[in-house]
Amino acid sequence: MSLQSAVLSSPIPVGNFLEVQDTYRLHYHEIGQANADRPSLLFLHGSGPGASGYSNFHLNYRYFAEQGYHVLVPDYLGYGLSDKPDDIEYTSTLHVEVLREFLQKKNVTRVVLVGNSLGGSIAFQFGLTYPEQVAKLVVMGPGGVEAPELWAGQMSGLRCMGAFIQGRKTDKGSFRELLHHIVASPEMITDELIDTRLPVWLEQPMAVFSTMKVEVFAERLAELKMPVLCLWGQKDNFLPVRHALVVAGLVGNARVIISTGSGHWFMLEEPDYFNQEVLSFLG
């Protein structure tokens, strides 16, 4: 397939590619260049079927570039337009180490991590592992706050996603039903949004989900010394909103926002509110 054909057939805009671990191609979008005067912003998407950096943050990342920030929006291995090997384990530790290599190759020495769901847990883990590189953290409905056996069975969104993945469902109707669990207002799940994610899901090997392992941080969150902004939708069906209070209780320098207008996709459901609050926090 020619490059032009690949671009025309891609479910999301094609950005750039960078080799990681001497083997795999990591896809990413980038605006601007690393700047010694300001940390770069690294946007970290969630783990849902068909997820990508673009589909999670297309209403956000350009805004911050317009404010003068260097912006990076990668797709993890197994997601978006990045390589999707079926013979590796897709742990949060893998993603942290790949992102560390990615930042080194992009000459980024200081970074603000902006992570949703799985991206939030990756942000926490990166901040705990490489604190000297992280200026601030922004997390939206992050994983890793508490052991899953204490809460996962109560979350309707997780149950729906588990059945969807195990059934390897491929039709638009089932995909739409799954995405309805993610948001507070189902009408925001448009055909256009589905079309950015469903083709990616059809290419993802089961290993992306069957080998997924996210670290649980619990009391270790108290070790985070950088400022943390935690945003949570009160109607989140995937990760319990009470975890926002756990973050507030453990992180020494935390600001917590809970909105009744959002579910699990705070940054897409209330993009203007999200963008303004994050910009204020960065200031």
In sequence order, what are the beta bridge partners of 26?
18
CA of 130: how far to CAs of 26, 32, 88, 283, in Å? Answer: 21, 24, 23, 22
Q: 92 — phi, psi (to 5°)?
A: -65, -30
Comparing CA positions, the residue from 273, 269, 276, 227 lying closest to residue 67 is 276
Decide if 180 is catalytic.
no
In sequence order, what are the beta bridge partners of 231?
140, 257
Helices (H), the chain: 3-9, 53-57, 61-66, 92-105, 118-129, 156-166, 172-180, 191-203, 207-210, 243-250, 266-269, 271-282
Catalytic residue among 27, 45, 243, 264: 264
Reported as half-sphere exposure (CB side, CA atoms, 13 A), residue 279 has a value of: 16
- d(Cα 68, Cα 281) in Å, to the nearest integer? 15
Comparing CA positions, the residue from 80, 108, 107, 124 lying closest to residue 228 is 124
CA of 81: how far to CAs of 24, 57, 70, 211, in Å? Answer: 11, 15, 21, 20
Which positions are catalytic? Answer: 264
